[in-house]
Amino acid sequence: MSRPTASALTQAEEKPLTPLGRSVQKYLSHLVIERGLATNTVDSYTRDLNRYEHYLAEQGVIDAHRITTKHIRDFAVSLATGNVEVKPLSTRSIARVLVAVRGAHKFWLIEGITTTDAAATVAPPTPAQRLPKAISLERVQKLLEAPDSSTATGLRDRAILEFLYSTGARISEVTNVDLDDLSRTRATANSSQDAEATEPLATQVPAVVRLFGKGNKERIVPVGSYALKAIDDYLVRARPELAAKGKGTPALFVNARGSRLTRQGAWLILKKACDRAQLAEEISPHTLRHSYATHLLEGGADIRVVQELLGHASVNTTQIYTKVTAHTLREVFAAAHPRAR
């Protein structure tokens, strides 16, 4: 898979830059070229740092070495209060922006652009921890069965939804999957034979898919039989028809014009399925990822295994799902036990 590039970064290069703008540009280039961050991540950093640069310009600061800690703290306050043109940001969004700001200042110090790190003592606010939203298996099944399998787009939609729930993939990972990233189930010879066996036993190796997560980090994830069946139906009965309308693409999932399906297109597919299934609650692609992790843990999966499947760099990120299952257990206990209340 090719190294990601940032569309916002390219656009920024077309504008005349101040000294501060050049420093920001250098940091963004570092994120793309040296750290290999995903396009969506770099675009987010670009928006946040453009906002920071705009605020500083209003304060008369157009060079990185003139930024003080007070400037950064005042900027954080402005994010929380907003103004007539810009709405105030949530604590979580402010924390995200300040992570970008802190990263830039640390980079500028290392590169010798500044002599001090003005952001070193500015800690991002701690957002209130929100438990991931998961839905029941019954609701997942209603969602997966919603697409109209009599049409090419319906077969594709069913395959995408099954794939999302079967792999726990992020939506951007799903839309980036190529045909060659999917490895089929195959039979392998089992060396252990009983005394009466005359032929090696054949065991099934599950189908797997190669996913590229945050930072372009690669991981291999099993694909369940239901998802594989839906994908096979799509590949045989739908993809040729859809792909014929385009110029040819290695993408596993294509849109009605024969091009690679976009993240926005996948969102619309999920929304349409929710409407057909008459699911009132708001369900996003990440809801299926959360449900995947929660259902695995409820089924007895080891948290370290779930961490690897989700592509989390730290098990601490995965541990929030153990709180979800504990929360569910408390709800069941409160509702079912005669002396719970």
Reported as a pLDDT band with limits 50, 70 and 90, residue 64 is very high
Amino acid at 194: D
pLDDT digits (tens, 9 = 90+) for 277-287: 998 777 888 88
Reported as a pLDDT band with limits 50, 70 and 90, residue 341 is low
Question: Is the pLDDT assigned to residue 244 strictly greater than 90?
Answer: yes
Token pair for 274: 């929710």
Q: DSSP for 24-61?
A: HHHHHHHHHHTS---HHHHHHHHHHHHHHHHHHHHTT-
Is the CB of residue 46 less than 8 Å from the CB of residue 7?
Answer: no
Q: Which CATH number fits domain 7-111: 1.10.10, 2.40.128, 2.50.20, 1.10.150?
A: 1.10.150
The stretch 209-237 carries a mean pLDDT of: 91
Query: Quick count: other Cβ atoms within 10 Å of Cβ 247?
Result: 8
Q: Is 156 helix (H, G, I), strand (E, B) or coil?
A: helix
Query: Among the listed ranges 27-36, 100-109, 120-129, which one has the minimum average pLDDT value?
Result: 120-129
The stretch 241-257 carries a mean pLDDT of: 95
* Crossing angle of helices 19-33 and 39-58, rounded to 10°: 170
Amino acid at 5: T
The stretch 233-240 carries a mean pLDDT of: 97
C-alpha span between 316 and 303 (Å, rounded): 10
Provide CB contacts within 8 A for 176, sequence distance 6+.
1, 212
Question: Is the pLDDT assigned to residue 215 strictly greater than 50?
Answer: yes
Percent of the chain with pLDDT over 70: 81
Is the CB of residue 4 less than 8 Å from the CB of residue 39?
Answer: yes
- How much of the chain is in helix, strand and coil states, percent to nearest 5? 55, 10, 35
CATH 1.10.443.10 fits 137-187+201-335, yes or no: yes
Q: Which residues belong to the active site?
A: 170, 214, 286, 289, 312, 321
Give residue 44's pLDDT: 94
Give residue 160's pLDDT: 97
Give residue 334's pLDDT: 62
Task: Give domain limits for the chain.
Answer: 7-111, 137-187+201-335
